[in-house]
Amino acid sequence: MAVAASPQATAAAAALSRHRSAAVPPVSRSVRVAAAGRRPPGSSRARGGLVARAAVAAKAEAPSSSDSGGHEVLMFEALREAMIEEMTLDPTVCIIGEDVGDYGGSYKVSKGLSEMFGDLRVLDTPIAENSFTGMGIGAAMKGLRPVVEGMNMGFLLLAYNQISNNCGMLPYTSGGQFKIPIVIRGPGGVGRQLGAEHSQRLESYFQSIPGIQMVACSTPYNAKGLLKAAIRSDNPVVLFEHVLLYNLKEKIPDEEYICCLEEAEMVRPGSQLTILTYSRMRYHVMQAVKTLVNKGYDPEVIDIRSLKPFDLHTIGNSIKKTHRVLIVEECMRTGGIGASLRSAIIDNFWDELDTRPVCLSSQDVPTPYAATLEDATVVQPAQIVAAVEEICQS
């Protein structure tokens, strides 16, 4: 049963709108509020219906924030904005997880949401990942759109049975009788001296599950757009957030926007070589690019964003232009995202390549606690520069 938005939630959404920018034209705000108000209580969106399909398929994104005013946010604030907007528009959206209520989440993504929407829609749970993930899947089967927060992606290994055997398979094994419109999100990746159990690179674990979509955000802009699209999708979506990116700051548009769940992002056009990356490694790559440009190289950089399925259209067009590929990831080398991506490139674009595709990945070891050893397990900008030089000279 859907839980209606409270008067406090409506007031909070209005406060958020005022906070975001006084420069937003009043007409734009009025149109958005009126559009939400015109939605009849019995419409498919209010029931968690099929509006989401357009969110997955849409190719157009909002203009860059520099062209349309906008407001500055940290990445965790952008994720929070996405949830406030979607929970205000759709009473079937709810949040489930450890400490998501009064505490506001381990990285404050849900801070203040329990006061806005009440503790039935922002549900604090015991430390029982398998149980509350299963509860979220059951809620999705009955028509809600849960956002399940894992305090750490490593902890979601305890829920792997639910995610794999139920979340990914039930739409198929039920013969299409059930949809599972659930988002499973949380922090992962190598932090700063968080130790092995809290610095795991598990993207490929979830990528391998049939029936699951997976995306990785890397900026406040795409974090908000991808989360909104994931909430609206009728497919189960895993959103991977890197633990070191929550405090990234960026100006994002005041207007509502979404990002396509299946589309890569062109970060830097180039002509000599295609660099494919995602999440935190986007920033290591861009550090390396500064050095490469000074040395006379012209790399093209693509943030693949969609870890499943890959956007082979964007990737293929780039390879047909540059004929050389370097994949840079933080995931493990054995069975990682890069291994799957390299296989897809060889299968689909072998004839376009002038040299073998190269993949730089993390070491196949538990992440050490010591900072120097921790850095040694992760791809660094200097390694990217060396790899590009070798590829371009081969």
Confidence of residue 54 (pLDDT cuts 50, 70, 90): very low
Per-residue pLDDT tens digits for 63-104:
454 455 899 999 999 999 999 999 999 999 999 999 999 999
232 and 287 fall within a common domain: no
Domains held by the chain: number? 2
pLDDT(58) > 60: no
Whether 45 maps to a domain, the answer reads no
247 and 285 fall within a common domain: no
Mean pLDDT, the chain, rounded, equals 85
Per-residue pLDDT tens digits for 286-329:
999 999 999 999 999 999 999 999 999 999 999 999 999 999 99
CATH number at residue 95: 3.40.50.970
Whether 61 maps to a domain, the answer reads no
Residue that finishes a domain, picked among 203, 225, 253 = 253
Residue that finishes a domain, picked among 193, 220, 253 = 253
pLDDT at 6 (0 to 100): 52
pLDDT at 68 (0 to 100): 58
Residues 227, 368: Cα–Cα separation, whole Å: 31
Please give the positions annotated as active site. Answer: 129, 198
Which residue did the predictor score with more confidence, 324 or 52? 324
Instruction: Determine the structural domain holding residue 133 and report its residue range.
Output: 70-253
